[in-house]
């Protein structure tokens, strides 16, 4: 399906470019499905008990795992870029370089599998579940996207985004009513 959608863009002379960001949790091994998940023990010998958003030290707790992951990604030619600690205890985010959407969809799949298997070797689990731990922030996958024109060089065009906004603007307030129930924002819409 993605190949077909990309073909529709290319027929119009646009070359979609994306950069995925995958958020995930590292969690302690837990064979009992009735017990809640918990952050894993890092190289300091302690599990995270507080949120350490964007902390380099928090990422360094899992250096042996991440060094191995970067080695695997290099060998598999996965275009990973930045790794950061997110807001939740044991929550991380990996960013991919901008590139072809179909290729990066495959790379994202391979990365997930590689991370899960490598985490097991380091006596922990890696999960991409939306909300694996109660009381911790959820995880998601964000996709940066742009539509440069293929003809006449790599100049970015505004028309596709503008068309998308024009199509979605009339219905956005209706869609948001279910997730943002207070009435006052909708009484001020233009």
Structure confidence at residue 151 (pLDDT): 62
DSSP 130: S
Structure confidence at residue 148 (pLDDT): 81
CB atoms under 10 Å from CB of 190, counted, come to: 4
Distance CA 144, CA 139 (A): 16
Residues 116-125 pLDDT 10s: 999 999 999 9
Distance CA 165, CA 9 (A): 17
Structure confidence at residue 189 (pLDDT): 45
Task: Please report, for the chain, how many H helices and E strands are present, in that order.
Answer: 6, 5
Structure confidence at residue 52 (pLDDT): 84
């Amino acid at each position: 399906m993605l190949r077909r959608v990309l073909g529709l863009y290319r027929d119009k002379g646009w070359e979609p470019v994306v950069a995925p960001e995958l958020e995930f949790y590292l969690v302690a091994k837990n064979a009992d499905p009735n017990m809640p998940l918990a952050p894993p023990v890092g190289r300091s010998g302690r599990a995270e008990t507080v949120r350490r958003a964007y902390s380099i030290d928090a990422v360094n707790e899992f250096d042996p795992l991440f060094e191995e992951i970067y080695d695997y990604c290099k060998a598999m030619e996965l275009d990973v870029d930045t790794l950061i600690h997110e807001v939740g205890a044991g929550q991380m985010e990996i960013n991919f370089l901008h590139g072809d959407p179909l290729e990066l969809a495959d790379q994202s799949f391979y990365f997930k599998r590689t991370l899960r298997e490598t985490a097991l070797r380091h006596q922990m689990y890696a999960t991409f579940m939306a909300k694996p731990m109660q009381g911790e922030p959820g995880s998601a996958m964000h996709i940066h996207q742009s539509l440069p024109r293929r003809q006449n060089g790599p100049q970015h065009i505004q028309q596709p985004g503008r068309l998308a906004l024009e199509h979605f603007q009339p219905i956005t307030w209706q869609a948001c009513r279910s997730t943002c129930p207070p009435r006052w924002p909708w009484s001020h819409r233009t």
